[in-house]
């Protein structure tokens, strides 16, 4: 069917067609442009029912032209999308034959694991248009890696989130310029560094079960890491430094036991080394590690690889792998409380109010053990006793910070009031083993994040990692297996003698 015949059939129906394709055109009034954004630069005037529009930035055109720009396609493919809505004969099946999903059954692709929203539909459509291949962008960097390519050779990198859906995509031109697909929701979304295309639900399943996950900023950096660090790790790219922490927190929530490594950029030379600061902040937030190129010039790990080669880059990556000290959340709360003291009058407060302030200072992480009448403080993932003297000195310090004189009787009465108002500690669960990165439940044989309601009093300073497939003492801990056998042999000999 000719394009002119399809557009003729679409006259008077463009507002419905746009709605079905997820293209927001407003109701004839000025609004954001679905192609270039803005606030009120776009107007859908729909002259003679032809779907016409005017944009102060993009220019003007008819309905087919708008679909072309929105989906980054030519007139033929835009007309096919219109024909599909109008139930007209089309050749869409021929287009799908050359896509990166040609090995995936279309019914599987459009199952319930991929939510029916406009962004997902747009990503799926553009993926249908791509084919896996070597990009000019990576060739210039000395990298060989198949990625989804559009007809003009630019990379189309789908972005996923941990809700089993596509969140958008990034376009990368051959000259290295990048921009996000219109409508992309970048926060917490990432690009999977892999030449094997997987559906969002499959990626989430892999992240949930993997032992090591590396998060970097850019796609090329992730591909370089995959080149020089040949380990069983999943590598994902967060697109930029600001999104590292959102991606890492989402991954940590999904997989509490994984070793998370932030492969940050060294933005030295700028007023602020954003790459390094964000990498450290992210590693602290998820109890992970970070590695930054040790250079006196601005560089990411792909830049480092290009200059020094794979072997030296691997050695430097491992040598600069650092686990920062965790941020003390109580300390952050302490600072907030102290900042608010200037507007308080502690001397005029009731004893119970000073007790509430003291509890707030400790992040509302205090509880009382009725059997011992001791107050406990939840920190470092376990409940630890805190003496009355420490609490009294803390409150005295708050008086001093506020510029007020304190009375020992008022301080001691506040601690007594605190003892009466605190929640009562429960009994520690005996089927739990408290590791540094989470808690292992013996009954269910599952690993999960810490929860202060477990009322645990003891922890070890060890990270828990799930067992690998076919893991055994003989294959994965041969020295321990040897010691165990020798120890058993000695016990047998002692019994015999």
- List Cβ neighbours of 353 (8 Å cut-off, separation of 6 or more): none
How is the chain split into domains, by residue range? 3-90, 114-319, 329-421, 467-497
pLDDT at residue 149, rounded to an integer: 93
Query: Would you put residue 113 in left (φ > 0), alpha (ψ -120 to 50) or beta?
Result: alpha
**Can you tell me whether residue 260 is helix, strand or coil?**
strand
> What is the rounded average pLDDT of the residues 385-414?
87
Q: Residue 257 corresponds to which tokens in the numbers above?
A: 């036991």
Single out the residue of 103, 116, 34 nearest to residue 72, CA to CA: 34
Assess whether pLDDT exceeds 50 at residue 331. Answer: no
Phi, psi (rounded to 5 degrees) for 14 = -65, -35
> What is the rounded average pLDDT of the residues 107-136?
73
Sign, Cα dihedral of 67, 71, 74, 79: negative
Helix (H) or strand (E) holding 351, with range, is helix 351-361
Of the pLDDT bands very low, low, confident and very high (cuts 50, 70, 90), residue 339 is low
List the Cα angle 322/327/328 in 5-degree steps. 145
Least confident of 161-175, 398-412, 422-436: 398-412
Assess whether pLDDT exceeds 60 at residue 108. Answer: no
Q: Residue 100 corresponds to which tokens in the numbers above?
A: 């990166």
> What is the rounded average pLDDT of the residues 236-248?
94
CATH 3.40.1360.10 given to domain 114-319: yes
Of the pLDDT bands very low, low, confident and very high (cuts 50, 70, 90), residue 419 is very high
**Helix 301-308 with 310-319: angle, nearest 10 deg:** 130
pLDDT at residue 362, rounded to an integer: 87
Assess whether pLDDT exceeds 50 at residue 101. Answer: no
pLDDT at residue 231, rounded to an integer: 67
Least confident of 56-60, 319-323, 467-471: 467-471
The fraction of the chain above a pLDDT of 70, given in percent, is 89
What Å distances lie between residue 368 and 23, 172, 310, 385, 475, CA to CA? 58, 57, 56, 9, 47
Exposed / middle / buried, residue 22 (Cβ in 10 Å: 0-12, 13-18, 19+): middle
Q: Residue 24 corresponds to which tokens in the numbers above?
A: 């927001």
Of the pLDDT bands very low, low, confident and very high (cuts 50, 70, 90), residue 159 is very high
Assess whether pLDDT exceeds 70 at residue 261. Answer: yes
CA gap 341, 93 in Å, rounded: 68
> What is the rounded average pLDDT of the residues 198-205?
87
pLDDT at residue 111, rounded to an integer: 46
Of the ranges 148-157, 297-306, 455-464, which is most confident?
Answer: 297-306
Q: What Rg do the C-alpha atoms of the chain give, in angstroms?
A: 30
CA gap 170, 125 in Å, rounded: 14
CA gap 73, 130 in Å, rounded: 11
Cβ atoms of 207 and 234 closer than 8 Å: yes
Selected residue with higher pLDDT from 346 and 273: 273
Which stretches does DSSP call E strand in 80-232?
A: 131-134, 146-149, 155-160, 166-172, 178-180, 191-192, 212-216
Of the ranges 33-37, 101-105, 230-234, 302-306, which is most confident?
Answer: 302-306
pLDDT at residue 52, rounded to an integer: 94
Bridge-based pairing state of the strands 212-216 and 234-237:
parallel
pLDDT at residue 192, rounded to an integer: 95
Assess whether pLDDT exceeds 60 at residue 329. Answer: no
Of the pLDDT bands very low, low, confident and very high (cuts 50, 70, 90), residue 238 is very high
Per-residue model confidence as pLDDT tens digits over 370-386: 999 999 999 888 999 99
pTM over 0.75: no
Strands lying side by side in the sheet with 289-291: 191-192, 234-237, 212-216, 259-263, 289-291
Least confident of 8-17, 82-91, 145-154, 402-411: 82-91
Assess whether pLDDT exceeds 90 at residue 134. Answer: yes
Sign, Cα dihedral of 172, 177, 183, 188: positive
Of the pLDDT bands very low, low, confident and very high (cuts 50, 70, 90), residue 485 is confident
CATH of the domain spanning 3-90, picked from 2.60.120, 3.40.50, 3.90.580, 1.10.10? 3.90.580
> What is the rounded average pLDDT of the residues 186-200?
88
pLDDT at residue 237, rounded to an integer: 96
Of the ranges 320-329, 398-407, 417-426, 467-476, which is most confident?
Answer: 417-426
Assess whether pLDDT exceeds 80 at residue 92. Answer: no
**Can you tell me whether residue 495 is helix, strand or coil?**
helix
pLDDT at residue 148, rounded to an integer: 93
pLDDT at residue 342, rounded to an integer: 54
CA gap 198, 83 in Å, rounded: 29
Tokens 């189309």 label which residue? Answer: 156
């Amino acid at each position: 069917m000719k394009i002119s015949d399809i557009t003729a059939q679409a006259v008077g129906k463009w507002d419905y067609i746009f709605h079905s394709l997820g293209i927001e055109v407003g109701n004839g009034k000025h609004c954001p442009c679905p192609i270039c954004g803005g606030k009120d630069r776009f107007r859908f005037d729909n002259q003679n029912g032809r779907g016409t529009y005017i944009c102060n930035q993009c220019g003007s055109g008819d309905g087919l032209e708008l679909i072309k720009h929105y989906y980054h396609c030519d007139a033929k493919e835009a007309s096919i999308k219109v024909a599909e809505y109008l139930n007209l004969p089309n050749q869409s099946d021929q287009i799908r034959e050359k896509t990166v999903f040609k090995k995936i059954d279309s019914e599987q692709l459009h199952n319930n694991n991929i939510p029916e929203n406009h962004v997902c539909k747009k990503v799926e459509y553009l993926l249908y248009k791509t084919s896996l291949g070597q990009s000019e962008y990576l060739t210039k960097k000395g990298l060989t890696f198949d990625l989804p390519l559009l007809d003009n050779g630019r990379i189309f990198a789908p972005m996923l989130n941990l809700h089993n859906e596509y969140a958008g995509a990034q376009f990368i031109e051959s000259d290295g310029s990048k921009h996000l697909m219109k409508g992309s929701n970048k926060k917490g979304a990432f690009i999977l560094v892999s030449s094997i295309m997987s559906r969002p639900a499959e990626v989430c399943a892999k992240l949930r079960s993997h032992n090591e996950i590396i998060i970097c900023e850019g796609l090329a950096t992730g591909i370089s890491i995959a080149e020089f660090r040949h380990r069983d790790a999943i590598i994902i790219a967060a697109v930029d430094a600001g999104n590292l922490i959102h991606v890492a927190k989402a991954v940590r929530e999904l997989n509490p036991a994984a070793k998370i490594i932030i492969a940050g950029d060294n933005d030295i030379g700028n007023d602020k080394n954003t790459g390094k600061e964000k990498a450290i902040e992210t590693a602290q937030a998820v109890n992970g590690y970070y590695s930054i190129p040790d250079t006196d010039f601005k560089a990411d790990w792909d830049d480092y690889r290009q200059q020094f080669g794979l072997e030296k880059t691997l050695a430097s990556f491992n040598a600069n792998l650092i686990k920062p000290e965790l941020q003390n959340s109580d300390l952050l709360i302490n600072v907030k409380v102290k900042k608010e003291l200037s507007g308080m009058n502690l001397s005029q407060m009731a004893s119970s109010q000073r007790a509430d302030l003291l509890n707030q200072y400790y992040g509302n992480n205090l509880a009382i053990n009725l059997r011992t009448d001791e107050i406990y403080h939840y920190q470092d993932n376990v409940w630890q006793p805190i003496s009355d003297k420490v609490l009294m000195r803390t409150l005295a310090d708050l008086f001093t910070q506020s510029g007020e004189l304190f009375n020992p009787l008022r301080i001691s009465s506040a601690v007594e009031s605190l003892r009466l108002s605190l929640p009562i500690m429960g009994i520690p669960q005996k089927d739990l083993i408290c590791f540094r990165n989470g808690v292992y439940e013996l009954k269910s044989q599952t690993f999960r994040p810490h929860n202060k309601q477990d009322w645990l009093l003891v922890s070890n300073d060890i990270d828990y990692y799930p067992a690998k497939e076919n893991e055994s003492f003989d294959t994965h801990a041969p020295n321990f297996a040897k010691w165990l056998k020798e120890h058993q042999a000695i016990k047998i000999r002692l019994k015999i003698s």
